[in-house]
Each structure stands twice: as C-alpha cells, then as structure tokens.
Amino acid sequence: MRGVLFDGERTQVVDDLGIRDPGPGEVLVAIAAAGLCHSDLSVIDGTIPFPVPVVLGHEGAGVVEAVGPGVTHVAPGDHVALSTLAGCGACAECDRGRPTMCREAIGTPGRPFTRAGRPVHQFAANSAFAERTLVKAVQAVRIPKGVPLTSAALIGCGVLTGVGAVLNRARVDIGESVVVIGTGGIGLNVIQGARIAGASVIVAVDTNPAKEPLARRFGATHFLSSAQGVRDILPTGADHAFECVGHPALIRAAVDLLDRHGQAVLLGMTAPGTEASFLPAALFLDKSILGCRYGSSRPQRDIPRYCELYLKGALLLDELVTRTYSVRNSDDFAEAARDLREGRVARGVLTFQATGAGPAQPAAPARKVRR
C-alpha cells in the first residue's frame, strides 16, 4: 500500500508498505483524508526527534475496515476521526480524565508497518499518511457521516489542540480578552475556540497580512502584523495570550502582553534545547505561563462535541481546508509541504487516491458561522 515514509534523510511516497491485521483492542482504518501539520515537517527537519524509518501523519479520518477482539464501540463501515492519544485507560491520569498525561500515550512508538520485511515506526501512534493505519481502539472516535472526512481529519490535531487549549486548559470565559500569536492551523482554532467561549476581544497577530481575512472569518476582532500594537487595543494587557509559533521572542511577547491574573499558553513547538526568557517580576500579579499538550483533550468526549458544534454551524472545519492534494508520488507530497512552509495554506489535506486521479482541489465553500 502507499504511504509517506521518512528514512532519516529523505521523505518519499512509497507503494510497498505492509500492515498487520488488528489484534485485541485495535482498529484498522482506511484513511480517507489526512491533514499536513507543522509537526510532521518538524520530524523531517529534526525539531521533533523520532526513530526512523517512520510513516508520517497524525491528523486523519477514515472508515473502519476491521476491528480486533474486544472492540465494541466502533465497527466496520463506521466513519472515525483519529486521535494521537494511545492511552492505557488504567493509570491514575487516565482515571482522572487526563489522557494527555498518560505516560503510555506519550511513550515508545509502535511498529505496525513493514517494508521489505523490516518493521517501520508509526508517528504519534497514528501515521495517517498511508492508505491504511492501525490504532488502539481508544484512538478511533466515531463521528456522524454528515461530517465530510476531508474536514473531519483536521479535528484530530488542529482542532483538538487549538480549541481544546481555549476551552480545556485556559478556560477562557465570556467577555475576556485573547491574543493569538500566529494564525496557522493551530492559531485559527484558538481564535474560533475563543469565539465559541464568548471572548469579547480577540486579537490575531501574524506577519503575513494575507491571513487577515481568514483570521477574521474565524472570529478575530482585530488583526495586527506585530505584537507591539496589542497595547493600543488592550492598554492594560490581555486575559489570555496564546503563542502558536514556537519562537522564543514570541513566547516572551506573550508573557509581556498579559494583564493582571493573565495566562500565557504555549502551543508552538520549539526544538528540545530551545530556551526562552522572561522577567519573573512580571508574574507576581498572579500571572501564569501554561504548557498545553494536545489541548488537554479527552478525544472520546471532545471530538463528538466538536462534530456537534460543526453540524450546528458554530465550529468551522471546511474553511480550514485551503487545498486538498491527491498524493500519488513524492512530488505531490513535496508540493503540499512547500505550500505549508511558505504559509500558503491554513491546512492542506492529503488523500491517497488511485494513480490518474484529478489534480489538487480547492477548499469546500464557506458556510455561514453562528456567532
């Protein structure tokens, strides 16, 4: 079968991957669509160290093809969105409803794939850049068939991380102010999470002016090309500042922009050895710096909720999909990666159609969002 493989030196689309049958508590999913995220590129450039060879991808949706013994909550033919959390379900953190903190969920990657008889690693317990993948049952979340799979694919990372950071971690309240630094896929979901939470002022900050229309579409009340202008809008500072880029200077800016009792939430991925600085005295007025893994999500609870919000018109998914790419060869993947690196897309979505399929397609038409 076809998939996107990184061998430590180059990324290529191969067509000779194998995958084993599902065992107890596992689900085999035929991938319909997968979002290309900066985290995938971070494996390629070394920002995220990961064993190789590895099948990339971690943001996908598809149709259940087979289930292993003991799996009862999904069945063949069900539409599912995939999470990256392969939690054990039995540790203290899982029992407390904090699967993002389960050490098994964060632990050693599996190797359900083979190539030329040798095992191949699975990225983020997911590997959605393949025609099929194998996940733990807890990672497969059934979704309504009314949610397009090209849009549903983005729930599994970008939406869970961005919207979840607002609702689960920061717990933004009605009438509060929010600054979002970086308006890529994660930033846009932070923006719409803040809108859903009822924030009164949502300031989007991005150096690319072409991103303003989409940021406003998702709920931004203001758009700036630099964080230096935030104080003109919020003279006393923001209740919440979300850093979605992973740059030390922007982390410092997020902290400096806080009002009393404000929270800076760090979502952008930095290299493991990167350091950021701040003034400790700046935190004495009950300010906080918060880490956030995967939106502090509980996918089996959150994904159905987000699907419901989508079907009601409150959550934007179709509008996140700037372009779809039919990945038939390595050049197709390289084009999608280049568009993401150069900021041309909010999210590019990969499909693995048969050779001879049509060219990349534009996004679905925008729906009217309920505010």
Tell me the average pLDDT across 229-239.
98
Position 47 scores a pLDDT of 86
Tell me: pLDDT of 1 over 90. yes
Alpha-carbon gap, residue 131 to 326, rounded angstroms: 12
**Confidence class for position 371, pLDDT limits 50, 70, 90:** low
**Model pLDDT for residues 18-47, shown as the tens digit of each residue:** 999 999 999 999 999 999 998 999 999 998
**Model pLDDT for residues 97-131, shown as the tens digit of each residue:** 999 999 888 656 799 999 999 999 999 999 999 99
Position 355 scores a pLDDT of 35
Spacing of C-alpha 325 from chain mean position? 18
Position 213 scores a pLDDT of 96
**Model pLDDT for residues 60-92, shown as the tens digit of each residue:** 999 999 999 999 999 999 999 999 999 898 999
Instruction: Name the nearest CA neighbour of 50 among 341, 219, 269, 208.
Output: 269
Position 178 scores a pLDDT of 98
**Confidence class for position 198, pLDDT limits 50, 70, 90:** very high
**β strands within the chain, DSSP E:** 3-6, 11-14, 17-19, 26-36, 54-55, 60-67, 79-82, 113-115, 118-122, 132-136, 140-142, 177-181, 201-205, 222-224, 238-243, 258-266, 288-291, 321-326, 347-351, 361-362
**Model pLDDT for residues 261-307, shown as the tens digit of each residue:** 999 999 998 888 899 999 999 899 999 999 999 999 999 999 999 99
CA dihedral 5, 60, 217, 202 (to 10 degrees): -90
Tell me: pLDDT of 354 over 50. no
Position 133 scores a pLDDT of 97
